[in-house]
Each structure stands twice: as structure tokens, then as C-alpha cells.
Structure 1
Amino acid sequence: MNIETSPASLAGVSEAEWQIRCDLAALYRLIAHHRWTDFIYTHLSARLPGKEDHFLINKYGVNFQHMRASDLVKIDVNGTIVEETRGLSSRDVNAAGFCIHSAIHMARHDLMCVIHTHTAAGIAVSAQKEGLLPLSQHACKFYNRIGYHGYEGIALDLDERERLVADLGQHKAMILRNHGLLVGGTSIPEAFLNIYMLERACAAQVDAMSGGRELILPPPEVCQHTSDQFKAHEHDEHYAMVWDAALRLIEDGKPDYRS
């Protein structure tokens, strides 16, 4: 392909940014594929390389299953859109999405991608006093490795960002009480695997507790051992293998997410 007619060149962005746009659009479609959406009301974001502290977030109102690379909006940590040539306005970015995601991106430069969901299972577990229980292998991944943030209303107050960051700490996953789930990753593939495991853990917990029978919890030392086993597989090669398999689930989507 002639570099002057490449998708990145036509969009007026670098090849690196275009690849991130394509991967983030694919992530939106994977979230839709797994039915983890809440219509247009949750958000996935990705930090762009460079010193400008720019990141991509969804254009408000686009259904996740239709998300394309060109639908993503580039903003800074103040919520200002930095794409003057596309005719975008502040209404194209959800204010609550900006508040939550900018908080994490500003404080945790190691987390390139941030995912926030409002699934039934995630909300249910967020409303349970015990939080995430080590009831399943999926849940044990997060044993002693997950934060909790108390509900403060719709995330429109920018001063909540400090508390969001403090409650996340050094973790890559957090339960937002009475609200939903949040995960981050050093890459888009890692963030996808983290939300996959956390969503599966919450769904299993809701199903197990709905059975009305006494539940079995593994001993703490087994939970910790399992968490350590998961941690040993947290590397780029494993994330890439999972990501490649996941992309095959959405390759027949129309229009192409890479457009």
C-alpha cells in the first residue's frame, strides 16, 4: 500500500496511533460480542504514545458493535478534544467517561488501556458487602489484587478522581460499588483479558449465590497460590495469544472496525 494512501495517512495520524485506534475499536466490538455493554453508557480508553498525555475514547452515541477506528475521539487529560479538523464538539465525549478514565490515565502511566463496564453481574457483585469472593478460579486471579471505590453518584465531579486513584492503588482491577467494574492493562490485549476474567468471576459468583446452597471457599493459601500462578502468566506473549483468538470472533463484522 502506498504510504500516502494508507488509512493512517488518510486519517492524518501516525501509523502507531492508527494501530491503537484499530485495536481499541476491536476491543469495543469484543465487549459488544460478549454482551458486556450498557447501550452507549460505558467507556474504553487507550493512551497514545508521546508526551502530550492524549488518549482515545469512544464518540458518545456510537453503538459498540459498530465502533470503527475513525469513530474514536482524541482528548487530553482536561477533556479537551484535540482533533480540530473533524468538526467534533464537547458533546461527543461523555463527561462521566472522561472523569473516570482521565483519573486513571493521569495517575497510572503504566495502564495504557482502561475498561469500565456496567454488566448485571458486575453491578450485582459491586452491591454485595463481601465484594468479589474467591468462589472460582477466575476470581482467584484477583485475590488480594483488586480495589474498591465507594459510590459517589454519577462521576461528574472532577475531585472524585483523587479518590478513584487512591482506591485503585497499584492494582489493575477495581470494583466501583453500586456501579460496575473497572480494569486497566499495560496493553489493550492485557486489559481485555483482565475484564474477561473479572466478568466471568462476577457471573460465576452471582450464579453460585443464587443456588441457595452452602458455598465452598478455597483456603486462603490456595487462593494466594492460584493468584500467583495467574501472575506468572502475565506477559505479552500470553496476551497476544488471547488477543489473536479474540479477534477471530469479530473478523466478519461490517463495517470493518479498521475503517
Structure 2
Amino acid sequence: MSKVQQQVSAAEWQLRVDLAACYRTVAHYGWDDLIFTHISARIPGAEPQFLINPYGMLFEEVTASNLVKVDLEGNKIMDSEHDINPAGFNIHSAVHEAREDAHCVLHLHTNAGVAVSTLENGLQPLSQQSLFPLSGLAYHDYEGIALNPDEKARLVADLGSHNFMILRNHGLLTCAETVADAFLFMFVLQRACEIQLLAQSSGQPLKTIPKPILAGIKAQASEVTKAAGGGLAWPGILRKLDRIDPSFRH
């Protein structure tokens, strides 16, 4: 048992393991951006406390023990030799503070995600995968490096009650009640972006999904997203990571 595990509750330790696993899985799929972008999670309990990656470490180096515990202002509330990225937590703290259901916030700069974020029409209904994010997709216009606290209000206003967001000229964001669901939402959103770019690069006429089908999905948005099944896929993801490198658990 690590020193950190001895100091925290069983619930926090499990969250640390899941969050570290999420970082490792993002790295496994090649969605990381060196040491940039972040995944944060709220620790169970009355006081708002959060876990986020140690700034300067690659996603493949994140472990349950080296995640940094901070408050809403990004101040460390548990001894750690690591700092965090203030620009990164500015986005995450805004979502956490505004959305009590957003226990996990995942933000990435994937090639496909950034590419789609630059398109005037954004994500299009070209695949079955696209229907899930399109059932509740928000957009936020680019305002520069996310260091301005005033941007928080505009970002959360744009996000509203949605769980999927495209940050224009910037990247992708998902949020959910669990790490597993936030990851699955990102997996589907990222896959939809990849498929769209492949289809558009063919140079052939594109057939979009009929509007009545898309409208039906949007009308059932809450049911669709809540039934996305993150908890079903997550145990398999953990087993995969254990086969590759179980050090995320330490």
C-alpha cells in the first residue's frame, strides 16, 4: 500500500485508480498532447476537492498516487511535489463548479477533434457514432489561452446541461458523473470526428443521416447519454491496462 493510499479514503483511492487509468487509456489511443490537456475528477464528499494530473508528466506516467488534490481555485490541499497547469484547471474548475453532475471532466487536443473544431459547421450527422454527441452537443468560441477567469462564465453558459462540447479552434470536452462515462463520451465523440474527416477527405458526395432520425435522438438526449454504457466497457479497459502496464494502480 502506497503512502498516499494510506492517507485517503477507499472511495478516493478508487477514484484515483480510475482517473489514472483514464489518463493511461488516452495515451494508449494516442490522444494525448505531450503534457498538455487534462482530465479531472471530483472526490466524493461534501467539500469540493478534485484530482488532476501533475503538470510536466506524460499521461503514460500518471499513477493513482501522483495525481494532485486541489480545491476549486487550484490550490493544493494535500502535500505533493508536483504543480498543476493553471490554464488547464481554469476550464475544469468552471465546469465542476457549475455542474454538480459533472464529477469528471475530460478535455483533449486530438488531431481529429481540433480539425473538426475548425470547421464552420462543426460535427455533422454522417455516422451512427455522431448521433450520440449530436444528441447534446455544445460549442464554445475560442478566446485564446484559457487563463482569463472571465471566460469561465461564458464557457459554462455555452455548455449548459450538455455532456459534449467542441471548443472552437481548440479541441474536445466531455463531462459525466463517472470517469467511465466521461471516457466513453470522449471515445464516441473522437470516433465521430475521425469518421467525418475520413469521409470528407474522400472527395465524394456525403449522405447525412435524415433529419427525423437526428431529431428523434435529440428528443431522447438524456436517455441516450445516460444509457451509453461507460460502466459496461470500463472493466474491460482496466483489464487491458493491467495486461499492458499495471503501474497506474500505484
Query: Shorter chain as normaliser: what TM range?
Result: over 0.9
**Conserved? CA contact 2:140–2:158, under 8 Å:** yes
Counterpart pick for 2:198 among 195, 198, 207: 207
**Please, which of 145, 149, 169 is the counterpart of residue 158 of structure 1?**
149
Q: What are the within-5 Å matches in structure 2 for residues 221-240 of structure 1?
A: 221-226=212-217, 232=223, 234-235=225-226, 238-240=229-231
Q: SS of the residue aligned with 1:174? A: strand
- Note the C-alpha offset of 1:231: 5.2
Contact 1:96 1:154 in 2 (8 A): yes
- Please state if 1:48 is matched with 2:43: yes
Amino acid at match of 2:51: L
The letter of the residue matching 1:35 is G
Give, in whole Å, the separation in 1 of the partners of 2:135 and 2:226: 20
Give secondary structure in 2 for the equivalent of 1:249: helix
Compute the displacement of 1:169 (Å). Answer: 0.7
| 244-253 vs 18-27, greater mean Cα deviation | 244-253
Q: Distance in 1 between matches of 2:226 and 2:88?
A: 28
Counterpart of 1:69 (choices 54, 61, 64) is 64
Q: In the superposition, relative to structure 1, how do residues 9 and 147 fare at CA in structure 2: closer, same or farther (>3 Å)? A: closer
2:97 alignment partner in structure 1? 106
Structure 1 gap segments, 5+ residues each? 1-5
Distance of aligned partners of 1:152 and 1:7 in 2 relative to their CA distance in 1, 3 Å threshold: same
Aligned to 1:3: none
1:187 and 1:201 map into 2 onto residues whose CA distance is 21
Give the one of 214, 234, 241 matched to 1:250. 241
Q: CA deviation at 1:71?
A: 1.3
SS of equivalent residue, structure 1 residue 56: strand
Query: Are the equivalent residues in 2 in contact too, given 1:38–1:118 (CA < 8 A)?
Result: yes
Output the CA distance in 2 between the equivalents of 1:251 and 1:60.
Answer: 24
What SS class does the counterpart of residue 134 from structure 2 fall into?
Answer: coil
Selected match of 1:31 from 16, 23, 26: 26
Q: Which amino acid is 1:107 matched to?
A: A
> Which residue does 1:21 correspond to in 2?
16
Residue from 175, 182, 185 that aligns with 1:194: 185
- Rounded to whole Å, the distance in 2 between the matches of 1:255 and 1:186 is 25
Question: What value does the CA root-mean-square deviation take over the aligned residues?
Answer: 1.9
Q: TM-score, normalised by structure 2?
A: 0.94
Q: For residue 59 of structure 1, give the secondary structure of its aligned residue in structure 2.
A: coil
Instruction: List runs of 5+ in structure 2 lacking aligned partners.
Output: none
For residues 225-249 of structure 1, the C-alpha deviation after alignment (integer angstroms, 9 at most, x for no partner) is 3456785454579322111122222
Deviations 1:189-218 (A, max 9, x none): 110110000000001111111111111111
Deviates more, 1:134-143 or 1:147-156: 134-143
Show the 5 A alignment for 1:115-194: 115-194=106-185
Mapped to 1, the partners of 2:93 and 2:134 lie a distance apart of 26
Query: Distance between the aligned counterparts of 1:151 and 1:238, measured in 2?
Result: 31
The alignment's TM-score, normalised by the length of structure 1, stands at 0.91
Report the 3-state secondary structure (helix = DSSP H, G, I; strand = E; otherwise coil) of the residue aligned with 1:114. Answer: strand
Cα distance in 1 between the residues matched to 2:14 and 2:40: 14
Quick one: distance in 2 between partners of 1:179 and 1:100?
12
SS of structure 2 residue aligned to 1:222: helix
